[in-house]
Chains A and B, each alone.
Chain A
């Protein structure tokens, strides 16, 4: 991965270079970590106006066939079958121990009507996509067609003015609400777009054929509200929004319940629900949901430092009397709130909001307080 000669390029690579981006290896791709404006300015611009992110490294795939929804449900503790047409949902692929193989978004593009092109459309993490596709193919490839879409680019337009900019090019997108989407022609490009994102702001994620990606990106950047934003600000924006980064905050060693992602497990898949269990690791996860006090050994929490000292990934967390209680999994100085924020795992007895803990930074105790997330209020458009 670190050999620049074997890095893949997204369809927007030349545009990034032209815009003066600093390119870094990420998930096997050469990706823009920041543009000349810099991480801080890009972050703040996204919160104030609109930022355009290239996320074409992420994996896009279709599941096609009458049994696709039931098949996908066998891999995730999530309600797939009842997701209405035109709606998107967050999902978690689990291993047999209930650990998270990846987190993903899935969208019902009229999946029941696969005879006429309907499908379940999935977006998975770039660093996981090869493994995810192999896993899905192996587990449910006999029940539905698994069709990777490497020919598709993906970009995100995020921020309070994203809708203003996009509706100028594609009238009608303003009618979409959070976690819905549809097909639109944007600047002459055929797009499938959803009103969703990874910043906590209103915004859109836009899937477009690689041959039209450059045209679309330039048309979006030509809007006065829009500036390019790199992966650096994408990370600080998502952390302020309290959203997990796969590989940092969740991985195969963490269950959804430990990760405080209970909201992603709908009632219908829980004990007593019509389709309870039937996903990998169900025994463990249903037990954790039923009796967290007994079964959980750690829990993901938000943390705010009480001094202006950034607390980074892998920093040890201690109780105020010096006992080891956990570790920070993501941390930085939140550019919008100008305070160090983090998330990490602590023993459950330290997970209550307001609990005082210490982060051990260079041998010194930095006081932190367990905090509700998001750190910056979400501004999703719900109509």
Chain B
């Protein structure tokens, strides 16, 4: 299993041709207490970098971008009910959605953990 990161502070856990997507520890920390998430509809097909959702804290709202092109095959209903999961367990129970990859080569340009750690330290 591989984990990749985007410059928009999302993480992707890749298993076969499926990626689970969430926001990073850095992203949830910058946002503060998450109070609302808007998740995409299952079955929607997105191009890479399209806006697929929204995450809001009391003080700010941020778009969640589709990190890779593909079809949304599952969303985290538990996160919809309890948006604070994005703060308490951003890399686990606070995942946002799963996407079926349409172009696995897009993964090559994303950051690995070492690169992302350096990137977010300067963000």
Contact = CB atoms under 8 A, between A and B. Distances in A.
B33 A332 contact: no
B38 interface: yes
B33 A40 contact: yes
B36 A332 contact: no
Interface string B31-58: 0110110100000000000000010111
A232 interface: yes
B56 A232 contact: no
Contacts of B93: none
B32 A34 contact: yes
Interface in A276-314: 308-310, 312
Interface residues of A, number: 18
Nearest to A41: B33
Contact of A362 (B32, B33, B38, B57): B38
Judged by DSSP, the binding face of A is mixed
Nearest to B51: A362
B45 to A, nearest CB: 19
B99 to A, nearest CB: 20
A38 B61 contact: no
B33 A39 contact: yes
A39 B58 contact: yes
A182 interface: no
A56 interface: no
Interface string A92-107: 0000000000000000
Nearest to B32: A39
Contact of B32 (A232, A235, A310, A312): A232
B121 to A, nearest CB: 16
Nearest to A239: B58
A34 B61 CA distance: 17
Contacts of A40: 32-33, 35, 58
A308 B32 contact: no
B57 A39 contact: yes
Contacts of B38: 309, 362
A235 B59 contact: yes
B18 to A, nearest CB: 27
Nearest to A236: B58
Interface string A36-49: 00111101000000
A333 interface: yes
B59 A362 contact: no
A33 interface: yes
A309 B36 contact: yes
Interface of B: 32-33, 35-36, 38, 54, 56-59, 61
Given A309-B36, A312-B61, 16 more contacts: A34-B32, A39-B32, A39-B59, A40-B33, A40-B35, A41-B33, A232-B59, A308-B36, A310-B35, A310-B36, A310-B61, A332-B58, A332-B59, A333-B56, A335-B33, A335-B35
The 5 A-B residue pairs whose C-beta atoms are closest, nearest first, are A40-B33, A333-B35, A232-B59, A39-B58, A310-B56
